[in-house]
Amino acid sequence: MNSKLVITLSLIFVVTACSKTPDQNTYKQTDRPTVTAQFEQSDEMISKYLDQLDDPNTTLDDKKRIVCVDYPKEYKSNYMPSLLKLNPENYTEAKLLSDLDIALSYYKEKENIQCP
Protein backbone atom coordinates (compact mmCIF):
# COMPACT_ATOMS: atom_id res chain seq x y z
CA MET A 1 0.00 0.00 0.00
CA ASN A 2 2.76 2.46 0.91
CA SER A 3 4.64 1.73 -2.30
CA LYS A 4 1.50 2.48 -4.37
CA LEU A 5 1.08 5.76 -2.52
CA VAL A 6 4.74 6.69 -3.04
CA ILE A 7 4.55 5.80 -6.75
CA THR A 8 1.33 7.74 -7.20
CA LEU A 9 2.69 10.80 -5.41
CA SER A 10 5.92 10.59 -7.40
CA LEU A 11 3.99 10.38 -10.65
CA ILE A 12 1.85 13.40 -9.68
CA PHE A 13 4.99 15.32 -8.76
CA VAL A 14 6.65 14.53 -12.09
CA VAL A 15 3.56 15.46 -14.10
CA THR A 16 3.16 18.71 -12.14
CA ALA A 17 6.83 19.62 -12.51
CA CYS A 18 6.79 18.94 -16.24
CA SER A 19 3.65 20.96 -16.78
CA LYS A 20 5.29 24.12 -15.35
CA THR A 21 7.88 24.32 -18.13
CA PRO A 22 5.38 25.12 -20.91
CA ASP A 23 4.07 28.07 -18.86
CA GLN A 24 7.55 29.59 -18.95
CA ASN A 25 7.82 28.93 -22.69
CA THR A 26 4.39 30.46 -23.24
CA TYR A 27 5.59 33.65 -21.56
CA LYS A 28 8.60 33.79 -23.83
CA GLN A 29 6.43 33.18 -26.89
CA THR A 30 4.03 35.98 -25.94
CA ASP A 31 6.97 38.35 -25.43
CA ARG A 32 8.53 37.43 -28.80
CA PRO A 33 6.34 39.66 -31.05
CA THR A 34 7.24 42.71 -28.95
CA VAL A 35 10.95 41.92 -29.05
CA THR A 36 10.74 41.21 -32.79
CA ALA A 37 9.06 44.57 -33.39
CA GLN A 38 11.73 46.33 -31.30
CA PHE A 39 14.47 44.56 -33.23
CA GLU A 40 12.96 45.44 -36.61
CA GLN A 41 12.54 49.08 -35.62
CA SER A 42 16.12 49.26 -34.37
CA ASP A 43 17.44 47.46 -37.46
CA GLU A 44 15.65 50.01 -39.65
CA MET A 45 17.19 52.88 -37.67
CA ILE A 46 20.68 51.40 -37.98
CA SER A 47 20.17 50.92 -41.72
CA LYS A 48 19.26 54.61 -41.99
CA TYR A 49 22.43 55.55 -40.12
CA LEU A 50 24.54 53.39 -42.44
CA ASP A 51 22.85 54.90 -45.49
CA GLN A 52 23.64 58.38 -44.19
CA LEU A 53 27.25 57.42 -43.52
CA ASP A 54 27.60 56.13 -47.08
CA ASP A 55 25.86 59.15 -48.61
CA PRO A 56 28.41 61.67 -49.95
CA ASN A 57 25.90 64.49 -49.33
CA THR A 58 25.88 63.90 -45.56
CA THR A 59 27.95 66.54 -43.79
CA LEU A 60 31.02 65.56 -41.81
CA ASP A 61 29.38 66.89 -38.62
CA ASP A 62 26.38 64.62 -39.17
CA LYS A 63 28.64 61.65 -39.86
CA LYS A 64 30.61 62.38 -36.69
CA ARG A 65 27.40 62.56 -34.64
CA ILE A 66 26.19 59.26 -36.12
CA VAL A 67 29.51 57.44 -35.58
CA CYS A 68 30.26 58.83 -32.14
CA VAL A 69 26.79 59.04 -30.58
CA ASP A 70 23.71 57.88 -32.46
CA TYR A 71 24.81 54.58 -33.99
CA PRO A 72 26.54 53.15 -30.88
CA LYS A 73 23.67 54.28 -28.64
CA GLU A 74 21.01 52.64 -30.84
CA TYR A 75 23.10 49.51 -31.27
CA LYS A 76 23.83 49.02 -27.57
CA SER A 77 20.45 50.15 -26.21
CA ASN A 78 18.04 48.47 -28.62
CA TYR A 79 19.54 46.40 -31.42
CA MET A 80 21.91 44.23 -29.40
CA PRO A 81 19.54 43.40 -26.49
CA SER A 82 16.72 42.52 -28.89
CA LEU A 83 18.96 40.33 -31.02
CA LEU A 84 20.30 38.54 -27.95
CA LYS A 85 16.74 37.82 -26.78
CA LEU A 86 15.62 36.60 -30.20
CA ASN A 87 18.65 34.49 -31.03
CA PRO A 88 20.84 33.83 -27.95
CA GLU A 89 22.25 30.60 -29.33
CA ASN A 90 23.89 32.35 -32.30
CA TYR A 91 25.05 35.63 -30.75
CA THR A 92 26.95 36.75 -27.70
CA GLU A 93 27.35 40.20 -26.26
CA ALA A 94 31.10 40.03 -26.87
CA LYS A 95 30.64 39.10 -30.54
CA LEU A 96 28.09 41.86 -31.12
CA LEU A 97 30.31 44.46 -29.43
CA SER A 98 33.19 43.30 -31.60
CA ASP A 99 31.02 43.74 -34.70
CA LEU A 100 30.11 47.24 -33.53
CA ASP A 101 33.78 48.12 -33.04
CA ILE A 102 34.64 46.85 -36.52
CA ALA A 103 31.88 48.92 -38.13
CA LEU A 104 32.74 52.07 -36.18
CA SER A 105 36.45 51.68 -36.89
CA TYR A 106 35.72 51.41 -40.60
CA TYR A 107 33.74 54.65 -40.70
CA LYS A 108 36.16 56.48 -38.39
CA GLU A 109 39.02 55.61 -40.70
CA LYS A 110 37.07 56.23 -43.90
CA GLU A 111 35.91 59.70 -42.82
CA ASN A 112 38.87 60.50 -40.53
CA ILE A 113 36.53 60.90 -37.55
CA GLN A 114 37.85 61.28 -34.01
CA CYS A 115 35.32 60.76 -31.24
CA PRO A 116 35.80 62.67 -28.00
What phi, psi does 114 have (nearest 5°)? Answer: -115, 120
Q: Using an 8 Å Cβ cutoff, are 72 and 105 in contact?
A: no
Q: Kindly indicate the confidence band of residue 33, based on its pLDDT and cuts at 50, 70 and 90.
A: confident
Q: Give the pLDDT score at 8.
A: 44
Is the pLDDT reported for residue 15 higher than 50?
Answer: no
pTM, to two decimals: 0.72
Percent with pLDDT over 90 in the chain: 69
Arithmetic mean of pLDDT over the chain: 82
Encode pLDDT of 39-58 as tens digits: 999 999 999 999 999 999 99
Q: Over range 18-39, report the average pLDDT.
A: 64
Domain ranges of the chain: 32-111
Residues whose CB is less than 8 angstroms from the CB of residue 92 and which lie 6 or more positions away in sequence, other chains included: 84
What is the pLDDT, as a whole number, of residue 30?
62
